[in-house]
Chain A
Amino acid sequence: MNSVSRSHWGVNALALFIGLFLFVFLIVPVVKVVFVAFQDPNTGALTLINFVDFFNTTLFQESFFNSLYVASMSVLLATIISVPLAYFTTRFNFGGAVLIQTLGIVPLIMPPFVGAVAMLLLFGENGSVNLLVDEWFGFTIPFMQGLNGVILVESIHYFPFILINLSAALLNIDRSMEESAQNLGASGTRLFRRIVFPLAMPGYVAGASLVFLKVFDDLGTPLLLNINNMLAPQAFLRISSIGISDPMGYVISVILVAFSLFSLWVSFLALKDKDYSTVQKGGGGLMKRDLRTWEKIGCYAVIILILVMVLSPHLGLGLLSFGTIWSYSVLPDAFTFAHYDNMFRTAGQYISNTLLYAGLAAFIDIILGTAIAYLVLRTGVVGRKWLDYIAMGAVAVPGVVLGIGYLRTFVEFNVPIVDKPLASWWVIIVIALAIRRLPYALRACMAALQQVNVMLEEAAETLGATKSRTVRRVVVPLMTGGILAGFVISFATASVELSATIMLVNAESDAPLAFGIYEFMQQAAGRGPGAALGIVAVLIVGIATYISHRVIQRTEKRRNAGQIVVTEGAGAGAAK
């Protein structure tokens, strides 16, 4: 990249400011957590004894292997779900491809623990499906038994990461490669196996590693399914039951972070030393192929089966929100609107809090994302790459760890004016969400800036525009699509986040949606209203996503980019 190396105090100050923000709100809290893991629980001296204890404890060994098993199996199942969806909709003439792609993203905008509640009612040992199967055939299927349940719920929730990245990668492949293969006689699965999939590998690995990380770190789902023998629940249970100074919880946190970084590194290695670039990007070349009738029927059958499965949490949640009593029966006893009525009377502030928190967090994210992208790609500021690495590192920090870190770091820091500890002020939730979602927005902004040719800026400057004017009038407008995509994905995922916020919410009046749903679900009469709130959450995020989707589409149309824009932006957001 032809970087503009004119040193500029403004740019340096900006880099310093961002660095400071990341240092205070990401590095310090994580280091605080890490530090406790190396302290002797009795004396406070530095020691490795806690790690020795960890590796000597059978329970923790089991938890580690269970987490590893669940994460790997979830990646496998998520792959099985997303490969047909991505391949069929990007390669063949297919009615409703956009609809399928959109529905494919829907699972991401529901908190996974809410999905778990609905899945238990549908697929649990005494859920709808098993009650029917038992009645007809006299046996039950252990969908949700033990680790199976976690794998099922997680892969249904997180497969969109693979779908988004894989679709983007498939759209970007030079179609002439496939054409040549077809001319040479390859077709069907052989074409897919030997040519298409290998070329789409970077996208797939990006998505798969994200799924692996997310599942490995997820707390809410195993907790709700009462699975204790996994790492994230162990960390949470140890710290919440034994206390904030129990060292084992922190050791587990360190292991979670280290292993997440390790898997990122492995996925990076997997792609190294191979050239995936193709001369031409998507677009031209091969037209979408037609399917023979029976093939088409087969494909539709597969897709419908998959969609029914991935949308079943929403179906279950919908039934729960309209049902009166749903207990040991295939369907609720009767239907009612009472839960919505109940929910709207009490839950208004959850909704407004979520819009405020997720909106602010996503806003902070795109500002930081744009700024970091600009610093990295267009300036010569010392250590600019590190800003990128550190910001991306947030993806490897589990929400629990960040939450615990914030509690430890900011509990003694009193905010002036409001006069309460920063750790219990609502702004800390916004910051936590912003840090947690920064990697998504950052990748989207990076990708957007990469697509803007530096010559346009040089032209502007040659014509006499100042640096800031160029950024304002040329760079940012050209990046709009990517920035918006970053905003959407940050906003959508931040509004359903629970793992960090559950540690940081201090008063009912400060609680966001996901927390509200969790609270509702903790009382006998609250399951219905909780489900209703869940449906509202899905609708709000869905509508917000759709609106920005349309805005992006309009701006992108002029440049005639890909067909599924959120997909592309988000794909770029997660890629690398």
Chain B
Amino acid sequence: MIKVNLALAGSVLAIGAIMAPMQAMAAEKLVIVTSYPTDTTITVGKAFTKATGIQVEMLRKKTTAGIKYLQATAANNTSDMFWASAPDAFEVLKDDDLLVKYTVKVKGIPEKVGSFPIHDPEGYYKGFAASGYGFMWNKRYLKAKKLPVPKSWADLTKPIYHGHVGMSAPSRSGTTHLTVETLLQGMGWEKGWALMKGIAGNFKTVTARSFGVPDGVNSGQFGIGIVIDFFGLSSKASGFPVDFLYPKITTLVPANIAIVKNAPSPKKAAAFIEYLLSTEGQEILLDPKIRRLPVNPMTYAKAPAGFPNPFKDKSIGAAVKFDLNLSKGRYNVINSLFDVMITYRLDDLRAATKAIQAAEAKAKGNAGAMKLIAQAKALVSKVPINAGKASEKSFNGIFKKKRKKASVKVTGRQAEFEQAWDTEIKANYAKAKELVNKANSMY
């Protein structure tokens, strides 16, 4: 009987295999590895199928997982395209020789958006939309808590916003990484981190997923969220009482698509790129559920009122000239620093910030106290390493998790450095609090 049952189980499995959705037909479909949410992939995919008759299969993966997937399957590649936001991801694939060049036939796409070239100058990946970073806020929340709408990054460091701001971590989300990198490049290493930590001192939370930020603002768990534009714009379009703003220091970066090397159906892949950049394809980006900035300037004529237009409003994304190579060279170190200093020490950072903010309000005019508070502030914004070290190649190697051959000697482990930083940071935050207490006792 048991054998009979096993045989039955076997046959059920076999039937299941035959019924398996998609598997048998996978070869004929255009296979796209993408990091986009289903709202985007389904809407665009359906429209594309309708226009061209080509069926699409989307493999949804986080950007980093998508890169690893393409690297792992390179020898026996079954994917046609890679479709994601962060240009650095495409740079990694390009360096690994996993993409092929393609020349776009559609006309009318300008050279640059903001200060960034839309298509890869070497011709490997193509921008189809632009993304900028800024903040969104919940109007009901701000009204109930009587908070003004913030206008710049510096506004977010103000004491009134303490405990009202949310953000994701750069290690969790490629777009958040770009935001942090933009701040660092726009303001310089020291000032950039000081600003970042000033804002972080007001954090309510560091979300584990990038969508946790718009989610928290939409539902009113916190009032202000630092997000990529389409999160804010699509939330607004879905009816939530929220709004979005680009602060002055932001960068517009193209979101991209590329054809994978040895793609099973390169012709269909080319058709997809052409469709995305066509008038029709660009208009889909204005769909309320998607809401991304098209790269064809003509499309903005069809956009709803108040929709940001970077080709007209030159203030968006022009202030920072984003250096991709600099970003690429210190990618993992930035992630690790942010997590050690902010994500995992948020309680200590918040407590120190709160103490400083309270003391500052009281200490006006008292020079001695102000001096101590300034020292405390400097301690809080201190970064364990300088910009040069962060970009050092051998140092970055420790944070890149590709195991080297046994013959290659590498000194130091990531966990070791992180623990050393953590000890230093924790002591700094505690010392800052001490200084503030001392300042408080001066009057």
* A-contact 0/1 string along B335-358, CB 8 Å cutoff: 100000001100000000000000
Does chain B have a CB within 8 A of A290?
Answer: no
Bound Cα distance from A43 to B412, whole angstroms: 12
Interface presence of B301 (CB below 8 A): no
Compute how far the CA of A524 lies from the CA of B219 in the bound complex, rounded to whole angstroms.
10
Q: B413 near A: Cβ within 8 Å? A: yes
Q: Which of A423-438 contact B (CB under 8 A)?
A: 425-427, 430
CA distance A124 to B204 in the complex (A): 13
Query: Contact flags (1/0) for B48-78 with A, using CB distance below 8 Å?
Result: 0000000001111010110010001100101
Among the 9-residue stretches A183-191, A504-512, A546-554, the one with 4 or more Cβ atoms under 8 Å from chain B is A504-512
Supposing A57-B419, A325-B241 touch, asked if A346 and B42 sit within 8 A by C-beta, the answer is yes
Interface bits A327-364 vs B (CB < 8 Å: 1, else 0):
11100000000000000001001000100100010011
Pair B234/A525 contact, Cβ less than 8 Å:
yes
The answer, yes or no, to whether A241 is at the interface (CB within 8 Å) is yes
Interface segment among A392-400, A515-523, A564-572: the answer is A515-523
The answer to whether B221 and A120 have CB atoms under 8 Å apart is yes
B403 touches which one: A44, A224, A520 (CB < 8 A)? A44
- Asked if A327 and B288 sit within 8 Å, CB to CB, the answer is no
Which of A23-31, A226-234, A271-279 participates in binding chain B?
Answer: A226-234
Which residues of chain A have C-beta atoms less than 8 A from B212's C-beta? 224, 226
Rounded to whole Å, the gap between the CB of A510 and the closest CB of chain B is: 7
Q: Does B121 contact A (CB under 8 A)?
A: no
Q: Taking the complex as formed, is B172 at the interface, i.e. its CB lies under 8 A from any CB of chain A?
A: yes
**CB of B339, distance to nearest CB on chain A (Å):** 8
Closest Cβ of chain B: how far from A189's Cβ, in Å?
A: 40
Contact of A327 among B26, B207, B219 (CB under 8 A): B219
| Among candidates B60, B218, B235, B401, residue contacting A508 with C-beta atoms closer than 8 Å | B60
Please pick, from B205, B219, B415, the residue contacting A121 in the complex, using a CB distance under 8 A. Answer: B219
User: B404: which A residues are within 8 A, CB to CB?
Assistant: 42-43
A382-424: which have CB < 8 Å to B?
Answer: 411, 414, 417-418, 420-421
Interchain nearest-CB distance for B178 vs A (Å): 15
Q: How distant is the Cα of A360 from the Cα of B13 in the complex, in angstroms?
A: 8
How many A-B pairs have beta carbons closer than 8 Å: the answer is: 222
Residue A210 at the B interface, CB < 8 A? no
- Taken together as a complex, chains A and B put the C-alpha atoms of A324 and B240 apart, in Å, by 9
**B39→A244 contact, CB < 8 A:** no
Please name the residue on chain B nearest to A364 by beta carbon.
Answer: B9
Q: Which of A240-261 contact B (CB under 8 A)?
A: 240-248
- Complex-state Cα separation, A53 to B22, whole angstroms: 45
Instruction: For B212, give the chain A residue with the smallest CB separation.
Output: A226
Beyond A42-B410, A522-B209, whether A240 also contacts B64 by CB under 8 A is yes
Q: How far is the CB of B96 from chain A (nearest CB, A)?
A: 14
Q: Is A176 an interface residue (CB 8 A)?
A: no
Q: Please indicate the chain B residues that have their CB under 8 angstroms from the CB of A507 in the complex.
A: 22, 57-60
Contact A245 B402 (CB under 8 A): yes
- Within the complex, the shortest CB–CB distance from A383 to chain B, in Å, comes to 18
Give chain B nearest CB distance to A138 CB in angstroms: 13
- The answer to the question of B367 belonging to the interface, with a C-beta cut-off of 8 Å to chain A, is no
Q: Is the interface of A mostly helix, strand, loop or mixed?
A: helix
Residues 107-138 of chain B, each 1 if its beta carbon lies under 8 Å from chain A, else 0? 00000000000000000000000000000001
Q: A49-B413, A426-B20, A509-B57 are in contact. Are A226 and B239 (CB under 8 A)?
A: no
Q: Is the pair B402, A509 in contact by a Cβ cutoff of 8 Å? A: no
What's the Cα separation between A520 and B241 when bound, in Å?
A: 20
Q: A241-B64, A508-B58 are in contact. Are A524 and B231 (CB under 8 A)?
A: yes
The answer to whether B406 touches A45 (Cβ under 8 A) is yes
Given contacts A242-B332, A367-B5, A524-B231, contact A42 B422 (CB under 8 A): no
Q: Give CA–CA (A53, B415) in the complex, Å.
A: 6
Contact partners of A237 in chain B: CB under 8 A: 171-172, 208
Asked if A89 lies at the interface with its beta carbon under 8 angstroms from chain B, I say no
A38-75 near B? 1/0 per residue, CB < 8 Å:
01011111000110011011110000000000000000
C-alpha spacing A396/B402, complex, angstroms: 30
Which one of A124, A228, A245, A247 has the highest number of Cβ atoms from chain B below 10 Å of its Cβ? Answer: A228
User: Does A327 contact B60, Cβ atoms closer than 8 Å?
Assistant: no
- Cα–Cα distance between A362 and B443 once the two chains are bound (Å): 71
Instruction: Please tell me if the beta carbons of B68 and A243 are within 8 angstroms of each other in the complex.
Output: yes
Q: Is A370 an interface residue (CB 8 A)?
A: yes
Contact with A along B208-226 (1 / 0, CB 8 A): 1101101100111100000
Shortest CB–CB separation between residue B42 and chain A, in angstroms? 7
Residue A377 CB within 8 A of the other chain: no
> Which residue of chain B has its CB nearest to the CB of A324?
B239
Residues of A within 8 A of B73 (CB): 421
The interface size bin for chain A is 35 or more
**CB closest chain-A residue, reference B343:** A228
User: B103 contacts which chain A residues (CB < 8 A)?
Assistant: none
Q: Which residues of B contact A421 (CB under 8 A)?
A: 73
**Is A95 an interface residue when CB atoms closer than 8 A count as contact?**
no
Q: In the assembly, what is the distance between CA of A453 and CA of B402, in Å?
A: 59
Q: Which of A154-162, A195-203, A301-309, A468-476 contacts B (4 or more CB under 8 A)?
A: A468-476
A58 close to B138 (CB less than 8 A): no
Contact among B1, B140, B205, B401 with A242 in the assembled complex (CB-CB below 8 Å) = B401
- Please indicate the chain B residues that have their CB under 8 angstroms from the CB of A56 in the complex: 415, 419
Interface check B434, CB cutoff 8 A: no
Are B39 and A525 closer than 8 Å at their CB atoms? Answer: yes
Of B26, B332, B344, the residue contacting A229 (CB under 8 A) is: B344
Q: Which residues of B contact A228 (CB under 8 A)?
A: 206, 208, 343-344
Q: Given contacts A14-B3, A43-B404, are A223 and B209 in contact (CB under 8 A)?
A: yes
Q: Which residues of A from 200 to 226 have beta carbons under 8 Å from B?
A: 223-224, 226
- A328 touching B138 in the complex, CB below 8 Å, given contacts A17-B6, A237-B171, A524-B240: yes
Which chain B residues numbered 8 to 41 have a C-beta less than 8 Å away from chain A?
Answer: 9, 12-13, 16-17, 19-24, 26, 37-39, 41
Would you call B322 an interface residue if the criterion is a C-beta within 8 Å of the partner chain's C-beta atoms? no
Q: Which of chain A's residues have a CB closer than 8 A to the CB of B221? A: 120, 124-126
A522-B20 Cα distance, complex, nearest whole Å: 26
> Is A326 part of the binding interface, using a Cβ–Cβ cutoff of 8 Å?
yes
Residue among A226, A233, A360 with max Cβ neighbours from chain B (10 Å): A226
Q: Which residues, 105 to 163 on A, are CB-close (under 8 Å) to B?
A: 120-121, 124-126
Given A325-B241, A346-B42; A57-B415 close (CB under 8 Å): yes
Q: Is A526 an interface residue (CB 8 A)?
A: yes
B442 in contact (CB, < 8 A): no
A58/B20 contact (C-beta < 8 A), A226-B205, A346-B42, A508-B38 known: no
Give, as a whole number of angstroms, the nearest-CB distance from A503 to chain B: 10
Q: How far is the CA of A417 from the CA of B57 in the complex (A)?
A: 19
Asked whether B90 is an interface residue with its Cβ less than 8 Å from the other chain, the reply is no
Chain A residues with CB under 8 A of B72 = 411
Among A43, A45, A54, A524, the one with the most B-chain Cβ atoms within 10 Å of its Cβ is A524
Residue A491 CB within 8 A of the other chain: no
Tell whether B238 is near chain A: CB-to-CB under 8 Å.
yes
Interchain CB contact under 8 A, B401 and A243 = yes
- The yes or no answer to A374 lying at the interface (CB within 8 A) is yes
Q: Which residue of B lies closest to A144 (CB)?
A: B221
B246 within 8 A of A: no
Task: Return the chain B residue nearest A125 by Cβ.
Answer: B221
B window 164-178: CB within 8 A of A: 171-172
Q: Which residues from B are CB-within-8-Å of A50?
A: 415
Cβ distance B61 to chain A, nearest Cβ, rounded Å: 8
Contacts of A353 in B (CB 8 A): 21
Contact status A10-B3, CB under 8 Å: yes
How far is A363 from B20 in the complex, measured between Cα atoms in Å?
18
Min CB distance A225 to B, Å, is 9
Check A244 against B219 for contact (C-beta < 8 Å): no
9 contacts between A and B (CB under 8 A): A53-B415, A121-B219, A327-B138, A360-B13, A414-B76, A418-B23, A509-B22, A522-B37, A525-B237
Can you name 17 extra interface pairs (CB under 8 A) apart from A59-B344, A121-B219, A245-B402? A42-B408, A226-B212, A240-B62, A240-B65, A243-B68, A246-B414, A324-B239, A326-B219, A327-B218, A418-B23, A420-B23, A510-B21, A521-B211, A522-B211, A523-B38, A523-B234, A524-B238
